[in-house]
Structure 1
């Protein structure tokens, strides 16, 4: 059975056969990573949709659950999610509407607002996490422990290189 990546791979092989200087392996690896990321996101979004939530709301709940006292300021949530404060407010509105969080004034400063995970929010996470973990175990069971460790090591190494290239401006330099 052909994989969903087969058409891309065939196109790359054809291009490599016509251009001697074509960096086939580097492009193949890049496209494989991008294709896998897309498939992982599709898989995750289907799972979350079946559970009645999206990735942004889920990550907001996990962020809150991971905090001491299960509470966070809206600006900290915005930073943790990498979103604007306006978007973090929309996220908080939706979480509050579902009863998963409450907005509370700070004990120390009444001007300061905290988002607090509710019992209903905790219960929702207890309900949705086990099936998600099950799905992840199914996915990653195709790799041995050693292969998972190798993939983690290689992925971290590439991520470090990407971070370094961003910092050095190497991507833009290569284009000029």
Structure 2
């Protein structure tokens, strides 16, 4: 593959990822979800894992620590996330959803599923399988 071809495909991948996030953020705002896409990703991962350290959560949501700290601070102020002292490490915290956070996730999950489905319209099972294969190959190529 030439550099020009690679560059075009990389641009398409980046452009599509940005468009998906922008579309979702517009829908979150339009529907008054009270959270951003990034905040939702944090809440969703906490709902799926119950208790996580900030380092574990950062790896799951692909955010650096300062960015994740700002997101967590906002979610704590909204009453959706709680910090508790790590039992073995005084410098570390466990993160978990509050009861309000659990309710918010349950409320938003079906609505967000509908938003995500928009991007997948007009694609069949074969398309999904090929797309998954390609994305996993790209991801695995970059594993160290």
Same fold? TM cut 0.5: yes
Count of aligned pairs between the two proteins: 140
Tell me the CA shift for residue 124 of structure 1.
0.6
1:76 aligns with 2:68: no
Q: Deviations over 1:121-166 (max 9, x none)?
A: 01111111111111222321311111111121122223333x16xx
Q: TM-score, normalised by structure 1?
A: 0.65
Asked if 1:94 corresponds to 2:94, the answer is: no
Q: What value does the CA root-mean-square deviation take over the aligned residues? A: 2.7
Instruction: Please tell me whether Structure 1 or Structure 2 has the larger radius of gyration of its CA atoms.
Output: 1
Change (3 A) 1:102 1:150: same
Shift of 1:24: 5.7
Cα distance per residue 1:34-62 (max 9 Å; x no partner): 33222212112212333222232112112
Structure 2 residue corresponding to 1:46, chosen from 20, 26, 50: 26
**Structure 1 residue ranges without an equivalent (≥5):** 1-21, 168-176
Q: Distance in 1 between matches of 2:129 and 2:11?
A: 22
Bigger mean CA deviation after superposition, 140-149 or 26-35: 26-35
**How far apart in 1 are the matches of 2:60 and 2:26?**
23
TM-score, normalised by the number of residues in structure 2: 0.77
Q: 1:146 to 1:102 in 2, by over 3 A?
A: same
Q: Is the 8 A contact 1:99 1:121 kept in 2?
A: yes
Q: Deviations over 1:10-69 (max 9, x none)?
A: xxxxxxxxxxxx8664444333323322221211221233322223211211221121xx
- In structure 2, stretches of 5+ residues that fail to align are none
1:66 aligned partner? 48
